Each structure stands twice: as C-alpha cells, then as structure tokens.
Amino acid sequence: MFDSMSKMSRLSSEQGEKIPEVRASAPRNRTIRLTEEETERLSEKICPMPCRKVSADEVSDCVIMGDMLAVMEFLPDSFADAVFLDPPYNLTKDFNGNVFRKRGDGAYFEYLMSWLPKIVRLMKENAAVYLCCDWKCTAACYEALRECGLNVRNRITWQREKGRSADDNWKNACEDIWYAVKGDEPIFHGDAVRMKRKVIAPYRTDGVPKDWNEEGNGRYRLTGASNFWDDLTVPFWSMRENTDHPTQKPEKLLAKLLLASTEAGGVVFDPFGGSGTTAVTARKLGRKFTSIEQSREYCCLTLKRLEMEETDSAIQGYEDGVFWERNSQPPKKQENHSISEDDELFLK
Ligand SMILES: C[S@@+](CC[C@H](N)C(=O)[O-])C[C@H]1O[C@@H](n2cnc3c(N)ncnc32)[C@H](O)[C@@H]1O
C-alpha cells in the first residue's frame, strides 16, 4: 500500500505539478487503511468470479474480484439502471501492482472498444452511463460512446483540485465525465442535484428577496446543476472518505450522478470499482450496486468503507438534500464538519 504522502506525489507528478509536502503523520490524517487482520477477514466477503450466468439478484450489492471483461460475460442482460465507468486513463499508472501502460490515441480507443460494447448489453433501456476521462483521452471516449450507439447527452467538466501550476504548461486541474444514455428517454432528476450557493448580489423586488433566502448567518440561492462542477475536490488525507487508492473519486461526485440518473432502489454497475466510491455512495443513497475490481486490496477497502457506512452515512458536501459549494456547509453544522486548517493549507 502507498501512504498518503505518496498519493499526493502521484497526483502532482501526473499533472507535472509541484504540491507542497504535507506531514506524513499529521494528527488529523483520516486515511482509511487496512490492517492484516481486516484484509484477511474482509477477503472472505469478496464475491468470487462467477462461473455461470448469474441473475441480477445474485450480484446485487456484491464486490466481485476479477477481470471486468471476464466477469461481464456472466452478468445478465439489462440489469443496470446506471453505469459509472472510471477506467484507467491513458497514462502509465500502477494500481496496486497491476500496471496500466500509456499507449497511442488509437490504441487507447481500441482499449475502450474492447469492453464498452459489452457494457451496453448490461444496461436497461434508457439507463445512463457516465464515462470519466482527462483532456488527453476525452476525444477517444466521446468517439467510443458514439460508436456503441449511445446517445451522448452532455460532457461534465469538474475542477478536481487546487494545486500549484506547472512551470511549462497550463495547470491540469480539470477532468471530464461524458454522460450518455441507451435510448431516447433519459431519466434525469434535476431537482435532486441542485446546488446551494452563497448570494453575492442579494437583489430584492419590493423589499422581498428575489430567488434567495436568509438562513442562519447567510443568504443562499438554490441553483440548477450545470455541466461545470467547481464544488469538488479529489479526496485527500484529512477527508473522512480518503484511502490510498491513487485515483479515488469523491463521494460527492458520485452522489450527483446517482441522484440525477437513478431512483431509490435502482442498480448502479461499476466495473472499475477501485476503492469503492460508487458502492459506498450507492449504499448511502439507498441504491444497489454491483462492483468489479481486479485488486484484492481495493476490494477489501471497498468492504471496509461499506462497514464504516453503517455508522456514518454522511456524504461530505451533500447535506439537507442539497449540494453545498466547496468549503461550505449548513451553518448549524459547521462545527462538526468544518474543513480543518490543514485542509485549508492544502487547498489554497
Ligand atoms: C481509475 S480507478 C477507479 C477508481 C474508483 N472510481 C474509485 O473511486 O476508487 C480504475 C480501477 O480499475 C481497476 N481495473 C483496471 N482494469 C481492470 C480490469 N480489467 N478489471 C477489473 N478492474 C480493473 C484498477 O485496479 C483500478 O482500481
């Protein structure tokens, strides 16, 4: 396992950035790690690779260890209400011993096409698929979705973190998530993903607040979610959801996608499960999941996070049914959930 320090250096080196080093043993480091005992115990809970066609119920809320291509052969047609795809980007990256190697653009497109058509079979009619990528492989992802006959509806760009600029290039601070649908009648719950923003110009009409409310010590407006997300940060060492997985997505990001594109009780499929962000967020929001991951350690991390969810089902940045701007939360809860000074240090 890498420590959180090395996660920081990997994030920075991937982008050619220099991020200041944080203390290795900072007292507020909340990174979720596995003991040997936990790895042994949780390994027992990993679902083995199926060896025959299985039903949706048999893989409901399962963390399956195996190669996604092989596992998918045994999954049922049309079982997923939504699919979250966070494959290795076109970068050389070590996923706990399984190294994905950077390749040419054409070869990366072929890599996508080796599994994406098989995903379509698993999707219900009108199910949504979200495909993550960076600026380098975004074109290949768009082409692959179209090639598979999916109806591409949007591209979300999210600002993943603050950090220092590279000296010789623009800072690489954004990622894309392509949103596509199998069919022409997408399910989209815009009301469920509204964002609560502080009002900068509190206009009034005849003395009455226009589109905003006075709450506690602030003035807020609920706004519709756009395809530019600047309210997220990649999980890091002092966040409760952080693990040592090198490319972990924030739960808040998954929460938006799941609330917009699934109903309570719906099934989300994630064939590149990693540290389990999709599974854990699905559980927190009353959805079901099927997750595949090749690394035993990452499967165990997922299971540990699912156990932790039993006593803490909060999603940082999503409270009272709304998404809050980065570094903000309901005034009444600020004491419990405030970003620590160390976080601020890193975020600046
Ligand atoms: C970008 S990461 C996903 C991170 C995840 N979204 C999270 O929040 O933790 C990609 C994951 O896919 C896994 N992976 C890559 N190729 C795989 C394959 N063929 N079968 C199963 N898992 C695979 C890697 O081990 C890695 O954990």
| 10 has a pLDDT exceeding 80 | no
Centre of ligand 1 to C-alpha 274, Å, is 5
Over residues 315-326, the mean pLDDT reads 90
The model's confidence at residue 66, banded by pLDDT at 50, 70 and 90, is very high
Model-level pTM? 0.89
Total Cβ atoms within 10 A of residue 231? 23
Over residues 278-284, the mean pLDDT reads 98
CA–CA dist 173, 135 (Å, integer): 10
Name the residue ranges covered by the structural domains of the chain: 4-190+222-347
Higher pLDDT pick, 9 / 217: 217
User: Which tens digit of pLDDT belongs to each residue from 190-205?
Assistant: 999 999 888 877 788 8
User: Which tens digit of pLDDT belongs to each residue from 30-49?
Assistant: 999 999 999 999 999 999 99
The model's confidence at residue 24, banded by pLDDT at 50, 70 and 90, is low
Q: What is the fold, at CATH topology level, of the domain defined by 4-190+222-347?
A: Rossmann fold (3.40.50)
CA separation (Å) from 237 to 130, 136, 152, 216? 26, 27, 35, 30
Pocket-forming residues, ligand 1, beta carbon under 6 Å: 67-69, 86, 88, 95, 98, 245, 247-249, 272, 274-275, 277, 292-295, 298
User: Which pLDDT score, from 0 to 100, does residue 212 have?
Assistant: 81
Over residues 313-325, the mean pLDDT reads 92
| 8 has a pLDDT exceeding 50 | no
The model's confidence at residue 27, banded by pLDDT at 50, 70 and 90, is confident
Centre of ligand 1 to C-alpha 226, Å, is 27
